[in-house]
Amino acid sequence: MSQTQMMKGILDGCLLAIINGKEVYGYEMAERLSEYGFESISEGTIYPLLMRMEREKLVTSVRKASTAGPKRKYYSLTKEGEEALNAFLKRWRHLETSVNSVIKQETNGRNRENGET
C-alpha cells in the first residue's frame, strides 16, 4: 500500500467519524479536519471521497438552503456507514497498538545504541 493510499483510508475513517456526530456539509468537514491537524491536505480532497462513500451507500446527503450564500449539501451516516466506521476504528486501534509497540521497542533500542536518551 502506498503512502497516499494509506492516507486515503485514514481520511475515509476520519470523515466517517466527523459525519457520525451530526449532519455536516463539505466546508465544515474540511475546517474540522484542518483544526484536527490535517491542514496540509487540500480541502477539495474530501469530495471525491464523499462521492465514493455516497455511491457505496455509507453516507446520504440532502441539500439545504443556508441563511446567507449558497445551498449546502449535508451528509449523514447510513447504517452501513456506522458499520464501516466501527470496522475502521477496530483496524485503526489494532494498527495504532502495533505501530506504537514497534516504535517503543525498536527506537528505544536504537537510541541506546547511539548513546542518545
Partner 1 sequence: MEKLKLSDKSRKFLDDLNVYLFSSGKKEEEIKDIVEELEAHLYEAELDGKPIEQIVGESPKQYMAMISKEMNIDYTAWAKYIPIIVFGVMAFMIIGDVLEGPLSYSLLQIIGTIVTCLLFIFGVFITFRYVSYHDLSKKVEFMMIILPISISMLLFILIQIVNRIYETPSVEIGGLGSILLGIIALILLIGMSLWGKTAVMLVVLIALHLPAILLSLTTLQEETQLISSIVITYIIIGLYFYGTFKKMKKEEKSV
Q: By CB under 8 A, name the binding residues for partner 1.
A: 25-27, 30, 42-45, 47-48, 51-52, 55, 69-73
72-75 contacts, C-beta under 8 A, 24 or more apart: 72/25, 72/26, 72/27, 73/25, 73/26, 74/23, 74/24, 74/25, 75/19, 75/23, 75/24, 75/25, 75/26, 75/29, 75/50
With beta carbons less than 8 A apart as the criterion, state whether 24 and 31 touch: no
Give the count of beta carbons closer than 10 Å to the beta carbon of residue 39. Answer: 11
Q: How far is the CB of 51 from partner 1 (least distance, A)?
A: 4
Q: Considering the complex, state which of residue 36 and residue 96 has its C-beta at the smaller distance from partner 1.
A: 36
Q: How far is the CB of 97 from partner 1 (least distance, A)?
A: 32
Q: Considering the complex, state which of residue 74 and residue 92 has its C-beta at the smaller distance from partner 1.
A: 74
Q: Considering the complex, state which of residue 68 and residue 113 has its C-beta at the smaller distance from partner 1.
A: 68
Q: Considering the complex, state which of residue 30 and residue 85 has its C-beta at the smaller distance from partner 1.
A: 30
Q: How far is the CB of 39 from partner 1 (least distance, A)?
A: 9
